[in-house]
Amino acid sequence: GDRLLDDDDGLSRLLAGCAGLSAHAVAERVRQAVDGFATDPCRDDVALLVLRATTALRAVSS
């Protein structure tokens, strides 16, 4: 379709709301958002990789 989960920074807002959560909780929120966003049930496998940025990485990216 022509809709994307990241339209209007939707994915950024979703991830910003996950600050401080465990990797499992972040993955579950993203999975739920994908399920809620889709117009039809997902027929493909879905894989998520959740990474935590370290303080050093944040300093480099600013």
Which has more confidence, 21 or 58?
A: 21
**Which residues lie closer than 8 Å to 26 by C-beta, 6 or more apart?**
15, 18, 50
With 60 as the cut, is the pLDDT of residue 55 above it?
yes
Q: How far is CA 44 from the centre of its chain?
A: 17
At 3 the pLDDT is 59
- Burial grade of 7 (CB within 10 A; 0-12, 13-18, 19 or more): exposed
- In the predicted structure, residue 17 carries a pLDDT above the cut 80: yes
Q: Can you give the pLDDT at residue 40?
A: 80
User: Residue 56's pLDDT is what?
Assistant: 66
Kindly state the tokens that stand for 61: 């990216």
pTM above 0.75, yes or no: no
Q: CA triplet 48, 23, 14: central angle to 5 degrees? A: 70
